[in-house]
Amino acid sequence: MNPEAEGPSELDLVQAKIAQLKESTKVSREPPQATPGLVFSMGFAVIGSLMAGETFGRYLSEKAGNPQYSLVGWVLGFGMAGLAVYQLLRPYMK
């Protein structure tokens, strides 16, 4: 009995399946396209961060009795907004 006459062996079938899986899992190198959803997400992230910073600054100012603590909230809000924008734009930077 000749094993080559019977057709592909199990090893050949496994290797073909592995090659097929490798092809199907390849990641596209193209960056994703910017969409209106990204723009709205960035807007909400920036506005939300600034509002949270302002609220935290007012809270600190009222508790401490010093109005300069509101600047701490603004700085934290701008920092959070910068981080949020960076997180949203990171896939486009590659």
pLDDT at 44: 95
| Confidence (pTM) | 0.61
pLDDT at 1: 47
Contact 76, 53 (CB under 8 A): yes
pLDDT at 55: 95
Question: How far is the C-alpha of 10 from the C-alpha of 8, rounded, in Å?
Answer: 7
Q: Name 42's Cβ contacts closer than 8 Å, sequence gap at least 6.
A: 84, 85, 88, 89
pLDDT at 36: 87
pLDDT at 22: 82
Task: Report residues of the chain scoring pLDDT below 70.
Answer: 1-7, 25-32, 94
For residue 67, CA distances in Å to 23, 48, 60 come to 61, 22, 8
pLDDT at 4: 53
pLDDT at 73: 92
